[in-house]
Structure 1
Amino acid sequence: MINNNSFLTSNQNFSNFLFGLIIGAIGSALILFSQFSDFQIQFLQFKWLKNESVDLSKYSKNPNIFCWIMTTPKYHRERADHVEATWAPHCDKHLFMSTKKDNKLPIVNLSVPEGREFLWAKTKAAFKYIYDNIDISELEWFLKADDDTFVIQILSFILVLFFILWVNYLFVFIFHEIKKYLHASLGQTYPSGGAGYVLSRAALRKFVEIGLHGDKLCDSKEIYEDLEIGSCMRKLNISLIDSRDSKGKHRFIPVSPDNSLIKLPDDDYYNWVQSYSKFPYKSGPNCCSD
């Protein structure tokens, strides 16, 4: 004979357990969403790469970041040496991209002419070199910076909030957003020069395999790197991510620290960046993300 009281008690306990399980799942989802929405993602799209498997056991809590730094022979001693002595070694791997070998630095000679008019050609050559010569399967994010850029380690904590285990399938381009452009065909915004930008592994693959080879959507002969990389990412349908934090403070900053913390009214470059930025800076302690 079944004891009705015991049966009812068992059902009630199971219902309480199930209810708690559902509430816990919802709570976990909300926590995850709150972290993910910190990036204020606008057009995030997940796409699957064909014929690729992922070994989840090899991933850690810290993302693997490859940093490449654009430089030129005349700045090897004046700038690149200081980058090598400060932040660059904190990347998991790093290289300087130049046009002349240097025994004191890990430098790749890209065999591209020097000059601002060749910056886009130099950028394409650098990403192609990385794709052809580096085992990118062991890396998750690819940071491009200049030899006068300073990167702090908080970048790794920012990137870890993007689902690191999914990075094989995530087409992402993170940058500081400029709202005006020189050619109407380039779209709505493009990255500012000087602040650097980050591509996911999937974005790098698509950039080289389709943008530079394949359909050659990004193999233009233009000279403006910042405009062309923004145009390229849109042509490849790679998601452009607002890099500010949840309070609207900037993380990728193309102006010097003195112009960020204390506005210098006679600085033409600062005024130019302010007038062109989609999200202008606030000078002072609130200029930059914590």
Structure 2
Amino acid sequence: MRNKIAILVLLNSFLLGSCASKKIKDASYLAPSKESTIAVPKMNIFVPRNSKTKQLPVLIFVHGGYWNSGRKGTYDLLGRNFAGKGVVTVIPDYTLSPNTDYNGMAKQIAAVIQWTKDSIGKFNGNPNGVFITGHSAGGHLGALAVMNPKYGIDPKSISGIILNDAAGLDMKYYLEENPPTAAHNYITTWTSSPAKWQDASPIYFLDKNTPPFLIYVGDKTYSSIKTTNKRFIDALHPFQPEVKVIPLNKKHVPMVTQYFWPWSNRLDEVVDFMKSHLK
């Protein structure tokens, strides 16, 4: 009975979202590579239907999964629900470890951001109202792609970053305490170089130009995520003293699945944050 109810709820949620949004499936943000046999990742775009506004806010969602798993299609409900709130939502795939490392992933997320800045106007999105969000590893990659200057994204061009139980915000600190092993492809993802661990850590690129943050952390999440977010917000406070972690009474995975329900208060909270920081 419980399973039937859950299926009905998901179906109703999907149907409601479908009525309110249009899905553009497998849009390209990278040029095909002749040298690589690995499939070029693509993205899904969720556009509000029947909106009279031609300059809608834009949210790029980066999925998590230990940097070695996950796919964009899992998050269709999230995309549809934000589109139902009047937000053009971009959900990319990206190449996973062991087929690339953190640097390759961050380059691809930066490419998504640049594509969005250049082309989202075709979908009624506002290129000057782009926000980045991500769960777990996705929070790390979204923040890193914006904050590390080597990826070429001007942080002042991004209206805000929403971290959802983000991992990896200070990989240098974490890997010094827990050297990378073959588990979860961590050696491939992070290498064995402390200099690269620092290069991979958004915490070391905070400055006065860093976009505004909205930060969620689960009360029942992993201790490493609690630690990295505490270190990150302590380092952020000299530049954004008003920011506080919003704690939620959830484990790690429910921190993102809460956005699968159209009645979630978090949807409205994120949209309100976006509206208050539109450029």
| Pairwise TM-score range, normalised by the shorter structure | 0.3 to 0.5
Which protein shows a greater Rg? 1
